[in-house]
Amino acid sequence: MTTIIRPLDAADEADWRRLWTGYLEFYETAVFEDVYRTTFARLLNDDPQEYHGLVAEQDGRLVGLTHYLFHRHCWRVENVIYLQDLYVDPDARGSGAGRALIEAVYAAGDAAGCPAVYWLTQDFNATARQLYDRLAQVTPFIKYQR
């Protein structure tokens, strides 16, 4: 099966909502309608400092998404990328869509001269961590949040 990775488009809103809802449900959370609207608008914004969205398409159907952000880093001159959200429909897992989405973010970073991409995941996300362990190095950092 061929996976096409492409930028999110305004016409993708219904499928994007379906995918992002699946992502949020996996992490046992939900957001209000104004967050859906605001996030989608940010993802479509042309500002390079705003969030970016990519989708994975297979046989004309959206099966995955990723959201990422270039940002400054005090330890580097170049920006780095925070890959905030990554989700693939359960029935498309194992098809290469997740890997392709991460590699597309890597490519965006390479094109922008950005040397680092990082993300967080839950320790219980064993299936995704098998992929992540092949594509990146786990760090010893622990997240704190107010």
Q: What is the pTM of this model?
A: 0.94
Enclosing domain of residue 47: 4-135
pLDDT tens digits for range 3-21: 999 999 999 999 999 999 9
Q: Is the pLDDT of residue 75 over 90?
A: yes
Q: Is the dihedral of CA 99, 105, 110, 114 positive or negative?
A: negative
Task: Note whether residue 144 is domain-resident.
Answer: no
Q: How many domains, the chain?
A: 1
**What is the pLDDT confidence band of residue 145, given thresholds at 50, 70 and 90?**
confident
Q: Is the pLDDT of residue 91 over 90?
A: yes
Task: Note whether residue 129 is domain-resident.
Answer: yes
Task: Note whether residue 18 is domain-resident.
Answer: yes
Task: Note whether residue 140 is domain-resident.
Answer: no
Q: Which amino acid is at 25?
A: E
Task: Note whether residue 116 is domain-resident.
Answer: yes
Contact yes or no for 59/1 (Cβ under 8 A): yes
Q: Which domain CATH number covers 108?
A: 3.40.630.30
Task: Note whether residue 146 is domain-resident.
Answer: no
Q: Is the pLDDT of residue 51 over 90?
A: yes
Which tokens go with 71? 């940002």
pLDDT at 1: 78
The residues that bridge with 61 in the sheet, in sequence order, are 58
Task: Note whether residue 37 is domain-resident.
Answer: yes
